[in-house]
Structures are given as C-alpha cells and as structure tokens.
Amino acid sequence: MGQNTAESSVSLINSSTMSNTERTFIAVKPDGVQRGLVGEIIKRFEQRGFRLAALKMVVVSEDHCKQHYIDLKALPFYAGLCSFMHSGPVVAMIWEGLNVVKNGRLMLGETNPADSKPGSIRGDLCITLGRNIIHGSDSLESANKEIALWFKPEEIIEFKSCQQAFLYE
C-alpha cells in the first residue's frame, strides 16, 4: 500500500503541475543554423528543464515569413527580415513547461544582442540586431498563433517526461 500511496502522490503532483504548463514557439533563424548553434540552443532549453514537444527544419516561403511577422508590417525592416528568414533553413520548435513563454524570452535575451546580458543566448552568441539567431514568442497569445502557423497538430508529440517529478514540486 505504501508504494501505491507514493505513486498516487507523484501522479497528483504531476497532473497539477502539468495543468499549469504552457507552450512556446522558438525558431533558430538561418544565421543560427548556419553557425551551428541549434544544438547549443536546444541544450539550454533542455538544461533549464523545458520539454521539447516538436521540432523540424524547414526553408519557409517569404509569404509564410510575412504571415509570421505580420505584426511588424509597418516597420521599415519588415521586408528585409522576411527576406532573411526565408534565405535558408530555420529550425522550428515547440517547448513546453511552467512559464515557458516568459522564461524562454529571458533565456533569449533582448532583441538587440548589444542590450542582452551575458548568460542569455543573444548575450553569449550574437553581435548585431539583424543577426540575432533566434525568435521566441513574446506572449502566450503569440505562442498559440505561431505554433498553429508552423505546426500541424499531429506534429506535436504528447508524452510524459520521466524528469517531470524531478523538476516540479
């Protein structure tokens, strides 16, 4: 009976924690892919304790990029950004975890690498704004839209990580 009680306890903790998790969209841009930084970025998210739910490498159309960055359409760099994003492979990912949108953005650092703190992805791995290697959703609403734009539901893998009980109380 003691073993069943312990297992029930873990199940309750895990199901409670999982109900508070969220998903975010992270993309390694063509400059990050070309520089061989995909593994480093995945490593940082995994070490933090987030779970990878989907991953694919794609060369997206300019129209897809325009749709992804539609909220920036009025800005002068929009066309160049869209052109750059479809200039080579992009690694698109969905990460899952507690407060992953907020924490993912903190891990990325500021949009301008010059303003990013050491220890952040952009602070450690980037120099210029136009080659800041990574995109991350800036809100839960954006994450949901971006995930739907980049992934079909059947491409998202649902599973319970064996690490969950060691990451969450």
Instruction: Kindly state the average pLDDT of the residues 71-97.
Output: 96
Rounded CA-CA distance 168/49 in Å is 9
Under the banding of pLDDT at 50, 70 and 90, the label for residue 17 is very low
Among the listed residues 64, 68, 86, 135, the single catalytic one is 135
Query: Does residue 149 carry a pLDDT above 70?
Result: yes
In Å, how far from its chain's centre is CA 129?
Answer: 19
Token pair belonging to 111: 């949009």
Let me know if 135 is a catalytic residue. Answer: yes
Instruction: Kindly state the average pLDDT of the residues 7-33.
Output: 68
SS3 content of the chain, % helix, strand, coil (to 5): 55, 20, 30
Instruction: Kindly state the average pLDDT of the residues 114-128.
Output: 97
Among candidates 43, 69, 39, 76, which has minimal Cα distance to 57? Answer: 39
- The number of helices, as runs of H, and strands, as runs of E, in the chain is 9, 4
Token pair belonging to 53: 């739910």
The CB density around residue 148, as the number of other CB atoms within 10 Å, is: 11
Q: Which residue has the tokens 């800005």?
A: 75
